[in-house]
Amino acid sequence: MTASARRVQLEPAFLLHHYPWRDSSRILEFFTRAHGRVSVFARAARRGSSALPAALQPFGETLVSWSARGDAGQLTGAERVRPAAFLAGDRLMSGFYVNELLIKLLPRHDPHPALFDAYALLVSRLHDAAADAARALRLFEKRLLDELGWGLDLEHDAGDGRPIDAERAYRYRIDGGAEAVDGVADGPLVFRGASLLSLAREELADPRSIADARRLLRAALDQCLDGRTLRTREVLLAMRAHGGSASGG
């Protein structure tokens, strides 16, 4: 495989997004294990509709092959790793939310194999009706921040360096870390120490820790997004306003 004509064969991948290209083809955005986020053209992927073949559906691991001479490649093959399992309702929207995060935050062609494995684990949890989808989402968001170099210091007081005390309250500054609160402990980014430690240890074994993690991780991700909006977050908020229970964003 050369820089002028790269050929990739049977690379583990998840489809993040697709959109029309010319009359009957599509541009596909994949998250791959060894090549990171890549864009490839799929010629004649649709015939009079926006549907993709069964092997090219979101939230199912696929082995994809492509050739490329520049940033974008030409799809040459796709094989489903296992039979399709489809998400629905709030879990489907949570999956789309994570996909949008990856598209906005991951540079193209920047491999993150550990994050790929974390994404695969998240997808399996979203497919498992018995799994806590909110907990799975929070853990993935934390690992996304860690992997991209934006991880949060959740175990030490930024003021004096002491270990976080589970019984104390802390105000978290996204740029500076946790600082113990003396007196009245309120505000959008005030958390009990127990919640910070639970997220640091990737436990999140109780509803309050999960809710606190959601507030903190959302603030951190918003800073990383630098003003860019998430369309899926707007949809999730609308679902909640109409009685839905979606746990993303």
pLDDT in tens, the chain (249 residues): 445 568 999 999 999 999 888 777 889 999 999 999 999 998 865 554 445 677 888 999 999 999 987 777 899 999 999 777 789 988 999 999 999 999 999 999 999 999 999 999 999 999 999 999 999 999 999 999 999 999 999 999 999 999 999 999 999 999 999 999 987 778 899 999 999 999 999 999 999 999 999 999 999 999 999 989 898 888 777 766 776 555 667
Q: Identify the pLDDT of residue 50.
A: 46
Phi-psi region of 51 (alpha: psi -120 to 50; beta: other; left: phi over 0): beta
* pLDDT for the residue 20: 87
pTM value is: 0.90
Q: Exposure string (b/e) for 75-84, b if CB count within 10 Å is 16 or more?
A: beebeeeeee
Q: What is the pLDDT of residue 239?
A: 67
Q: Provide the pLDDT for residue 243.
A: 65
Q: How far apart are CA 82 and CA 120, in angstroms?
A: 13
Under the phi-then-psi rule, with left for phi > 0, alpha for psi from -120 to 50, and beta for the rest, what region is 11? beta
Q: Where are the domains of the chain?
A: 6-80, 89-152+186-241
Query: For the domain with range 89-152+186-241, which CATH number is right: 1.20.1440.120, 1.10.10.10, 3.40.50.11740, 1.10.8.190?
Result: 1.20.1440.120
pLDDT of residue 22: 77
Pick the CATH number of 6-80 from 2.40.50.140, 2.60.40.10, 1.10.760.10, 1.10.10.1200: 2.40.50.140
C-alpha gyration radius of the chain: 20
What angle do helix axes 113-127 and 89-105 make, rounded to 10 degrees? Answer: 170
DSSP string, 25-78: EEEEEEEETTTEEEEEEETT--SSSS---GGG-TTS-EEEEEEESSSSEEEEEE
